[in-house]
Structure 1
Amino acid sequence: RGEDTIHPLKVSLEDLYNGKTSKLQLSRNIFCKACDGLKHLDGRHILIRSKPGEVIVPGAVKGIRGEGMPIYRNPFEKGNLYIKFNVEFPENHFINEAQLKQFEAILPQRLDAMEIDLNDEHTEEVDLHDYDPSNDRSNGRSEAYDSDEEDGRRGPGDKCIRVKGMYQMGCHTLAIDASLHRQNRRRLLDRLKEKNLGTNGVIVLQGGETQNMYCTDVEPVFRQESYFHWTFGVKEPDSYGAIDVNTGKSYLFVPQLPESYAIWMGKLLTTKDFKEIYGVDECYFTPQICDVIAGLKPDLLLTLQGVNSDSQKITREAVFDGIGKFKVDNKLLYKEISECRVVKTDAELEVMRYTNRISSEGHKEVMRQIRPGMTEYQLESIFRHYTYYNGGARNMSYTCICGSGENGATLHYGHAGAPNDKTVSDGEMCLFDMGCEYYCYSSDITCSFPSNGKFTSDQKIIYESVLKASRAVMSAVKPGVSWRDMHLLAEQTQLQDLLQTRK
């Protein structure tokens, strides 16, 4: 009780036993001991980085999300690691960049150029965030994935406040503003105008439709059609969206539901509600779509029709009563909007980083809990629970592939005929390909590891060969290189390493 562990790291054993704390507190002189790095209790080396240009003032307390103590009786959650820095530095941005370089030349060598190997599989980079004790919620539930933007959306009693125009699955998850989709719409219009395409036209997209499970009244959880979501961010089914190419004005058309539906669905939203939530210029009910678009007097309608290069399936083209009155071009839009979706904005990249971070932590949780004798689907359930509970990810990006032993050689194992139902044996390699989805942005991560945590000599040879190939590709990939060349580099690296091992 109160004894130091590895570093001056103090926590009451009584508090830990009673589940009263999930924090680790560390006091270090970062100026003098920057070369040490930080070795976590679980043996991982953590390389700490602060924001460029940020100066850490004396006595500052910083937090690393999700690196604290496991929460009592909840193996899926960890608290935060809080670090108090004893430093003496000047104020932020006290000199310009040229002077900074001169100043840097007289300082000790950078940390990442010294003892920490960034390519070491046991080394991770983590980000610092400002610590506010009044907003600390780690005692009792995870805040490993709190959004940096959530401040100001909490009310009395630490309750999470819903904000219109903002998507969030709870205050511990990433908050996404509707401006993400306004920017997407603006990028699409700019692209069309640069090519002088669709002048005096109106883009019309149709969202996903309500589906029933065969002939039953059961409705599977709805997931929005991707092109429609990219453009408008609408969660609900059976909607349409339109954009005036000349003015840039956006229009949303939502289904007009009978008042009795409130019994099953809760309060029914008005067109004003939808307008505020999704940040469009105007909103109407779907029966008005023909009249509203006709009032814009477009020369043509741009609808979406194209072949998905992965599935070879055709996109759903917008159809509504009265569309026959308009001239329609269903060829022009697909290429342009697809090219826009290929290049992600900063806002989109933030969502993708979040989704992949959630999935990464989910995979690590599976590795921590796996034991020989468990079934593959039990390990799948750990991943699903972790990503939903901690990250708000209700959907998976694809069917989870949890192949142990020879099942790992089947590309899309986990399908209905082989539903991850094998029992994992001691010493088997496990290949788990799983990724969660948040806000219709997906992650795709595959991990391979031995079920008992110890590689055999043969397993180690193959694993390290693939790891070297991965490192080689990550070092070589950059704008302008071809996917095929990266594929060949990976194959070449693995084969050369295996031949060298054989010798």
Structure 2
Amino acid sequence: MKYAPIKNQLFKKNRAKFVAQMKPKSIAVFNSNDTFTTGADSALPFEQSRDLFYLSGADQEESILVLFPDAIDPNHREILFLTETSKLIEIWYGAKYSKEEATEVSGIKTIYWLSEFEKTFYDLMTEAESVYFNTNEHYRQSVKIETREDRFIKKCKNDYPAHKWEKSGQIMQAIRGVKEPEEIEQMQTACEITNKGFRRILPFVKPGIMEYEIEAEYMHEFLRARSKGFAYTPIIASGYSACVLHYIENNKMCKDGDMLLMDVGAEYANYSSDMTRTIPVNGRFTERQKAVYNAVLRVKNEATKMLVPGNLWGEYHKEIGKIMTSELIDLGLISKADVENEDPNWPAYKKYFMHGTSHHLGLDTHDYGALKTPMKANMVFTVEPGIYIPEENMGIRIEDDVVIQKNGNPFNLMRNIPIEVEEIEDLMNS
């Protein structure tokens, strides 16, 4: 791992929150992600299961975490199973965690090798009445492959048919949505790395440059700051491409007079940042571009003020729709008649602003977190309104990452990243 070690106190707190919501005599199991091959003997870089990392800090493949708070043997109330390292593994791939290192990382005292899992798990299941399975219940989930977790669940149901089944997803959704101070610290670091990347490209962008060259500049800055790279596939979209919400080809030339939308964010210690900035390719906004940009910025600023404890996510988006409607009327993009005759299920403003304004942010870019209950302090949301005008060859989105606070004053993790028209122009022409 490139990132600085995280104190294991964070993972101890996270496990305590999960265990506090488990039913009596229940056991919970969390598996690491698979390592995916690309063909022959090559593999994609390993990405740890965010739930397992959240609860243990273990950032290694073929890991299993078992939580059993009612285990008769106190040493078996939390166990981390790992691949046993060897000289051969050390030579070819580098050493894996030793038991001592795993305890230091996770705060878990009982570390067993994977070869001991079946026997130990059988013994624990003779004491347990129910099992928490870590099924993927994210509201955006679209996984079509059978995961390591899926295979474990099928085997466990087959081997232990008399047990009851519970799901960990509801607990994880509740606890992962509210961040600990240590988590916000990692996200702040990710945002500062993103800031460095953005400041690097501002004087770099000019007419004739390719989108992928800009992507490369970001990657350079991210890697040298101890990030693995992008937290998600970056969008570097100039001209009309900015009106394609998930444009990721990044293969066009940036042309004089066009706007350039960049939805990028560095990861750090598996935590995401998520930034969008839109800048003029030639370094100067036209009056029309400035008017649309400032309209989006005003919506973002008003939306940020509404990220306070007690607000509901659904109502929040309705209020933002009203603000955006007013801005679009002022820009001449929709009329009052359009609003009066709009379909309530697809308001008039949706023609130019068709996506949501905010989502939870954390270990996943679209993180776990409650959406049907009131917002709480220490939830972290993106704020990302946009206006997309295909007929004008222009899409503008602005996005920051914001922490909800008890005092009602949202804290912007991207407060240091240039956002005002004048500052952007100055930095691009410096």
> Normalising by structure 1, what TM-score?
0.59
Partner of 1:396: 230
How far is 1:240 from its partner? 0.6
Distance 1:328 1:411, change over 3 A: farther
How far is 1:325 from its partner? 4.5
Give 2:317's match in structure 1, choosing from 487, 494, 497: 487
Partner of 1:49: none
How far is 1:328 from its partner? 4.5
Give 1:445's match in structure 2, choosing from 257, 275, 288: 275
AA aligned opposite 1:499: I
Partner of 2:62: 238
How far is 1:261 from its partner? 2.2
- CA–CA distance in structure 2, aligned partners of residues 364 and 330 of structure 1: 50
Partner of 1:319: 152
User: What are the residue-to-residue correspondences of 1:17-416 with 2, within 5 Å?
Assistant: 169=3, 175-192=5-22, 197=23, 199-213=24-38, 215-246=39-70, 249-257=77-85, 259-296=87-124, 297-313=127-143, 316-317=149-150, 319=152, 323=156, 324-326=158-160, 327-390=162-225, 392-414=226-248
AA aligned opposite 1:319: F
AA aligned opposite 2:48: Q
How far is 1:188 from its partner? 0.7
How far is 1:223 from its partner? 0.8
> Normalising by structure 2, what TM-score?
0.69
- CA–CA distance in structure 2, aligned partners of residues 482 and 300 of structure 1: 34
* C-alpha RMSD of the superposition: 2.5
Highest CA radius of gyration, 1 or 2?
Answer: 1
- CA–CA distance in structure 1, aligned partners of residues 155 and 142 of structure 2: 29
3-state SS of the aligned residue for 2:203?
A: helix
- CA–CA distance in structure 2, aligned partners of residues 271 and 476 of structure 1: 47
- CA–CA distance in structure 2, aligned partners of residues 388 and 445 of structure 1: 17
- CA–CA distance in structure 1, aligned partners of residues 134 and 123 of structure 2: 21
How far is 1:262 from its partner? 2.2
How far is 1:322 from its partner? 7.8
Q: In 2, are the aligned partners of 1:206 and 1:239 still within 8 Å (CA)?
A: yes
AA aligned opposite 1:342: G
How far is 1:413 from its partner? 0.6
- CA–CA distance in structure 2, aligned partners of residues 322 and 427 of structure 1: 59
3-state SS of the aligned residue for 1:191?
A: coil
Partner of 2:386: none
How far is 1:351 from its partner? 1.3
Q: In 2, are the aligned partners of 1:303 and 1:328 still within 8 Å (CA)?
A: no
How far is 1:279 from its partner? 2.0
3-state SS of the aligned residue for 1:221?
A: coil
How far is 1:330 from its partner? 4.0
Distance 1:474 1:266, change over 3 A: closer
Q: In 2, are the aligned partners of 1:468 and 1:494 still within 8 Å (CA)?
A: no
Identity %, equivalent residues: 23
Compare 429-438 and 268-277 and name the one that shifted more: 268-277
Q: In 2, are the aligned partners of 1:427 and 1:451 still within 8 Å (CA)?
A: yes
How far is 1:274 from its partner? 2.3
Q: In 1, are the aligned partners of 2:222 and 2:229 still within 8 Å (CA)?
A: no
Q: How many residues align?
A: 322
AA aligned opposite 1:366: I
Partner of 1:473: 303
Q: In 1, are the aligned partners of 2:83 and 2:96 still within 8 Å (CA)?
A: no
Q: In 1, are the aligned partners of 2:26 and 2:130 still within 8 Å (CA)?
A: yes
Q: Which has the higher contact order (CA 8 A, sep 6+)?
A: 2
- CA–CA distance in structure 1, aligned partners of residues 289 and 113 of structure 2: 60
Q: In 2, are the aligned partners of 1:303 and 1:317 still within 8 Å (CA)?
A: no
Partner of 2:339: none
CA deviations over 1:3-25 (Å, ceiling 9, x no partner)? xxxxxxxxxxxxxxxxxxxxxxx
